[in-house]
């Protein structure tokens, strides 16, 4: 299911993300030559509704339409079928950012083919570009804490999130053989998000090397994702003052309509984040997959409150995304050694 090209198809850059399926037909890996090798690897549209990466790549490649790239570029265009419908993924599809580890689906095999090909060719660095559906700052994610990876991340900004779960993400797989980052560029279709991603890619193409020295502590705000918060399938939820879900019946959990404004805010203990009409219903898993809900939250007089100081990230108000992925991640500051 993977198409591999050594050139950019004519007029491809004229297409919006939702039009790519009609032209490409599926996941596509495009190798473009440049002055330096090995190539910068860039992946876009692993989630079909997260279009900033494609917009940034269009801007970048238009700039170099009549001249040589400063460095070779390998571009992976992912879930164009979901992008056609402006969805993160389609029902029945695996998440394209969870297929980069062991698995038996055709999508897992496709991801392994990309990995094997790029390992053979060599990779300067890997950049996976994403969006959030909730209100978040721009930040980079890493799965490894070596100096080159952190330098690459801080080229995007001071805020860096380190995580080891969920497994099977693109940056985790590529990070085993090259510096690899995931860029979170805010909500889709925001010009400053596209510009930020474009400027980062431009800077990467012009790097002759990534520094090997340690990152200074004063140059980075490093956070560690310690848990993922999900809502069980059998639990209904809603947002806003009215206590009802889409079917009109009372929700098990109700959240404030501006819940995503808590993203990247350090919340003290006993901060209310929602209401429950029948006990406590959040599922919280740590990096080992253990249920640690009682460590982070408790219910009191119908309110869901924080038990300890926490910082949520990736909170979203999009019910479909919550069902497909999660409500949020919980983070804490991570001290750099040295």
Q: Which residue range forms the structural domain that includes residue 182?
A: 3-219
Question: What pLDDT does residue 281 have?
Answer: 81
Strands 237-239 and 297-300: unpaired
**Is the residue at 336 inside a domain?**
no
Question: What pLDDT does residue 336 have?
Answer: 84
In this structure, are 298 and 194 located in the same domain? no
In this structure, are 212 and 305 located in the same domain? no
The tally of CA atoms less than 13 A away on the side-chain side of residue 24 is 33
Question: What pLDDT does residue 282 have?
Answer: 93
The per-residue pLDDT for range 84-113, each reduced to its tens digit, is 999 999 999 999 999 999 999 999 999 999
Token pair for residue 318?
Answer: 């999009």
Angstrom distance (rounded) from CA 240 to CA 334: 34
For the chain of 338 residues, list the mean pLDDT of each consecutive stretch of 10: 97 99 99 99 99 99 97 99 98 98 98 98 99 94 98 98 94 99 97 99 99 94 96 93 59 95 96 88 92 95 94 94 95 84
| CATH classification of the domain holding 167 | 3.40.630.10
Question: What pLDDT does residue 183 have?
Answer: 99
> Which residues have a Cβ under 8 Å from the Cβ of 116 and sit 6 or more positions away?
none
Specify the number of domains making up the chain. 2
In this structure, are 195 and 247 located in the same domain? no
Question: What pLDDT does residue 338 have?
Answer: 58
In this structure, are 197 and 250 located in the same domain? no
Token pair for residue 123?
Answer: 């990779």
In this structure, are 287 and 302 located in the same domain? yes
Strands 139-142 and 159-162: parallel
Residues in the chain: 338
Question: What pLDDT does residue 120 have?
Answer: 98
C-alpha distances out from residue 40 to 43, 148, 221, 259, Å: 10, 14, 25, 37
Domain end call among 219, 240, 257: 219
In this structure, are 93 and 180 located in the same domain? yes
């Amino acid at each position: 299911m993977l198409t591999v090209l050594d050139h950019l198809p004519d007029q491809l850059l004229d297409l919006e993300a939702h039009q790519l399926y009609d032209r490409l037909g599926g996941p596509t890996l495009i190798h473009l030559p440049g002055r330096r090798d090995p190539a910068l690897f860039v992946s876009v549209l692993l989630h079909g509704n997260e279009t900033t990466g494609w917009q940034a790549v269009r801007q970048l490649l238009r700039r170099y339409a009549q001249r040589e790239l400063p460095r070779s570029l390998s571009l992976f265009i992912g879930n164009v079928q979901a992008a056609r419908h402006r969805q993160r993924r389609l029902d029945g599809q695996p998440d394209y950012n969870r297929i980069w580890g062991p698995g038996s689906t055709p999508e897992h095999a496709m991801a392994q083919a990309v990995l094997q090909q790029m390992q053979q060719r060599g990779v300067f660095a890997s950049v996976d570009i994403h969006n959030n559906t909730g209100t978040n700052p721009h930040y980079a994610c890493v799965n490894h804490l070596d100096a080159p990876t952190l330098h690459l991340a801080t080229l995007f900004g001071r805020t860096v999130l380190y995580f080891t779960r969920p497994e099977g993400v693109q940056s985790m797989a590529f990070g085993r053989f090259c510096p690899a980052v995931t860029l979170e560029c805010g909500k889709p279709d925001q010009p400053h998000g596209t510009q930020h991603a474009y400027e980062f890619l431009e800077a990467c193409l012009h790097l002759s090397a990534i520094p090997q020295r340690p990152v200074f502590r004063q140059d980075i705000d490093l956070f560690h994702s310690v848990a993922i918060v999900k809502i069980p399938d059998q639990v209904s939820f809603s947002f806003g003052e009215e206590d009802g879900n889409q079917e009109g019946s009372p929700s098990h959990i109700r959240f404030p309509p501006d819940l995503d404004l808590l993203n990247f805010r350090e919340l003290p203990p006993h901060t209310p984040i929602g209401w429950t009409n029948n006990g406590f219903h959040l599922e919280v898993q740590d990096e080992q997959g253990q249920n640690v809900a009682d460590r982070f939250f408790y219910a009191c007089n119908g309110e869901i409150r924080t038990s300890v100081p926490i910082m949520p990230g990736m909170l979203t108000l999009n019910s479909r995304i919550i069902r497909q992925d999660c409500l949020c991640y919980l983070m804490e500051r991570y001290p750099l050694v040295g």
